[in-house]
Amino acid sequence: MKLQAGYKITLFLALAITAAVLCTLPFLVIKKDMIYIYTQDQIPSSAENGFIRELRRSGYNVIINSSSLPQKDAYGFWFKPPEYANEIEKSPAQLNFLYTQAYYPLEWKNKTKHPIVLTPYRLLYEHYMRSNIKSAMMVMGVNLADYYPISVTKKYKVLYYGDNNQNSPIAEVLQNRKDAKFLGSYWNKVNKITETDEDGNITNAKILSASKIVVIYHQPDSPQSHRVPEDIMQATASGALVFSSPNPSVEAAYQDNVIIYENQQDFQEKLDYYLKNYDKIQAKILAAQKVTIEQFSTQTTSRRFKELLDWLKENQIIKSND
């Protein structure tokens, strides 16, 4: 018996809808991994927001700053100091992660369990591994959404970027230069730069992007000198030529695309040289920016964490909740 044209169309649509539903069912029944994230402060920082956004794009169900601990079948992630491990110990989650930039180890004695410690410091990572504490190296990158798209005129020749640098020999040099400006909450002098958005928030990204050269200083014994610090990531992401005090991590990542100065005299000589030849150094600026995008963005951090979590799950390194 031949079917009429109308019946054929109806039957075809019915079969197509049925096939579509059947193909969709496997995706509907797949349960998303749930991650409870507890930020450093109650209001997440820009980097934390970028990390959370990328996790959600990767398919995770992310709950932010819950008033309760993670559920038993979920994962917990804390942006907290090492001392917070005492609270994390109470978490029933399958795995608990602690990301901290503190340059000292957590206390693990007299603890029945401890979180997986994520640290940007190789020395601390090696210390944890020797102490039989699960750990991994991870750097919290910069939120690129703060810097793109930003199109501004380079109206500042030299910008010193940093807070509480009363003892900085480089800030001392720049305070005697008429072409130098300062960005940071510590500075309250005439040459301090302050720009705000519609909500009154200081727009550091815009100021950095409007600067030809951004100068950063960290004391040799500071934690920032043992990792790639946020201000280096931010300044390179903004499209400025960046000057930095000696830092092995920065040199290894950016090579000669971030200008390393050794002392006051070396700094002044290099600063004068690059100001005179600024039109010839665009390649360095773009190369440093590329390193930040590829290695030190929240997207990269999220991908690193996903790879770590997948590896732990595949190797069944999940704690017992019995």
207-238 tens-digit pLDDT: 999 999 999 999 999 999 999 999 999 999 99
Question: Is the pLDDT score of 322 beyond 50?
Answer: no
Comparing 159-163, 165-169, 171-175, 287-291, which segment has the lowest mean pLDDT?
165-169
**Within this chain, domains 34-141+299-314 and 144-296 share the same CATH topology:** yes
CA angle 104, 298, 187 (to 5 degrees): 65
Instruction: Give the residue, 193 or 32, on which the prediction is more confident.
Output: 32
Answer whether 245's CB lies under 8 Å from 218's CB.
yes
Query: For the ranges 6-10, 118-122, 227-231, which has the lowest average pLDDT?
Result: 6-10
pLDDT (0 to 100) of residue 12? 41
Q: Which of these ranges, 11-15, 191-195, 275-279, has the smallest mean pLDDT?
A: 11-15
Q: What pLDDT does residue 96 have?
A: 96
Q: Would you state the pLDDT for residue 11?
A: 43
- If pLDDT is split at 50, 70 and 90, which confidence band does 199 have? very low
Mean pLDDT of 232-255: 97
Higher pLDDT, residue 66 or 16: 66
**pLDDT higher at 148 or 128:** 128
pLDDT category at 202 given cuts 50, 70, 90 is low
Amino acid 309: pLDDT: 96
Three-state SS letters, the chain: CCCCHHHHHHHHHHHHHHHHHHHHHHHHHCCCCEEEEECCCCCCCHHHHHHHHHHHHCCCEEEECCCCCCCCCCEEEEECCHHHHHHHCCCCCCEEEEECCCCCCCCCCCCCCCCEEEECCHHHHHHHHHCCCCEEECCCCECHHHCCCCCCCCCEEEEEECCCCCCCHHHHHHCCCCCEEEECCCCCCCCECCCECCCCCECHHHHHHCEEEEEECCCCCCHHHHCCCHHHHHHHHCCCEEEECCCHHHHHHHHHHCEECCCHHHHHHHHHHHHHCHHHCHHHHHHHHHHHHHHCEHHHHHHHHHHHHHHHHHCCCCCCCC
Arithmetic mean of pLDDT, 264-291: 96
Stretch among 71-75, 108-112, 147-151, 200-204 having the lowest mean pLDDT: 200-204
- CATH class of residue range 144-296: alpha beta
Are 247 and 218 in contact, with CB atoms under 8 Å apart? Answer: yes
Alpha-carbon distance of 146 to 234, in angstroms, equals 9
What does the mean pLDDT of the chain come to?
86
| Residue 106 neighbours by CB under 8 Å, 6+ apart | 82, 83, 85, 98, 100, 114, 117, 133
Domain ranges of the chain: 34-141+299-314, 144-296
pTM: 0.84
Annotation: CATH topology of 34-141+299-314: Rossmann fold (3.40.50)
Share of the chain above pLDDT 70, in %: 83
47-67: pLDDT as tens digits? 999 999 999 999 999 999 999
